[in-house]
Structure 1
């Protein structure tokens, strides 16, 4: 694999994409932590994190708005405060908050696109980290500052940091969508390349049952 700068809009290759300078401290004996992220269509962000070693479960859903508007029909209007988001539950003895953030910025989406990802437009497709502790906020904010300061992206990062006031699982038909519909055109066009990049550049962070998939 070439070591050239192969992330559109960045100045570094994925293989050398920096980690945060600090990571989330985990209580001794803890077996599960949670991270809620938004980076465009939740089908494809979900598919990426499901393939990451140490991730125990990923749920597609809505974050940023109220329970009353946490449904696909309402969120698609762009008139709620919700983003399509994923809840990532992970084993902190295998992976970490910082490592999952690195994959978020380097593979999962383009954090320089405001209220859109590719052809998906609207605030429901915004780039966001929904923090549920001061420590998560501090680490994420410092990481964005580091990436911007180092000029890793050729445009400023627009990822918002928002307090997690609630995460609402999406309708059943959205869960495991890419895994259940691997030949659906959107999945092939968007999720497929993300998984290829994860396999090519962060293969050591990938679950063994995903490493050899076409």
Structure 2
């Protein structure tokens, strides 16, 4: 995965390459809320959602700043346990996508609201098997539904946004049902918070946090919900 090799010496070159292209702030916008949402049982204290949308550093960083989210863990979904390792996933041949498992309080934020944030600021859902400078199926836009209800809501929302032509291109987002999630290596957790000056983060991911605060002030929290060190599951 090339973004680990992105160094400060490449910042000027990257600026030249991307000069004239729309910035994230110019393309991000608050999309309409889903027409249908999940109704949380009154006894439910936590639920989980798994989203893939390019490099997991930025996706994790966004949802760590969302009220009602208690945990957002970077990992891999879509492939087998034996290949859920960073170097192997980077080949693009494992079936995995860099993903984030979100644990949230359904009494404070709904699955539909998480999807709205995902499509609005966490990534560009119209890009097929890529996000920004990263390309390959491991960077695909995918909702890994935990159950049939999540799959139904996600598919309906994708159809809704496409029918309304919310984006200039059709969404590339797919829905995969009941795929196991595997936690990524410790050095990937909280990466945005720990490396805010890293050029890849500064160019590609910090603008997402700014747009979250701007477009969703009602759910934005300044202090992120960080993953504890030594996380293995």
TM-score for both structures, normalised by structure 1: 0.90
1:94 maps to 108
Which consecutive residues of structure 1, in runs of 5 or more, have no partner in the other structure? Answer: 1-5
1:117 maps to 131
1:37 maps to 51
Please report how far the alpha carbon of residue 38 of structure 1 lies from its aligned counterpart in structure 2 after TM superposition: 0.1
Number of residue equivalences: 200
Which structure 2 residues correspond to residues 131-142 of structure 1 after superposition, within 5 A?
131-142=145-156
Q: Give the Cα separation in 2 of the matches to 1:21 and 1:131.
A: 18
Q: Give the Cα separation in 2 of the matches to 1:47 and 1:23.
A: 24
1:157 maps to 171
The answer on whether the counterparts of 2:42 and 2:107 sit within 8 Å (CA) in structure 1 is no
Per-residue Cα deviation, 1:102-156 (whole angstroms, up to 9, x for no partner): 0000111011100000110000000000011110011101100000000101101
Per-residue Cα deviation, 1:165-194 (whole angstroms, up to 9, x for no partner): 200000010011111111111111111100
| Superposition misfits of 4+ residues, deviation over 3 angstroms | none
1:84 maps to 98
1:209 aligns with 2:223: yes
2:32 maps to 18
The answer on whether the counterparts of 1:63 and 1:164 sit within 8 Å (CA) in structure 2 is no
1:3 maps to none
Please tell me the root mean square deviation across aligned C-alpha atoms, in Å: 1.3
The answer on whether the counterparts of 1:64 and 1:164 sit within 8 Å (CA) in structure 2 is no
Say which of 208, 214, 222 aligns to 1:194: 208
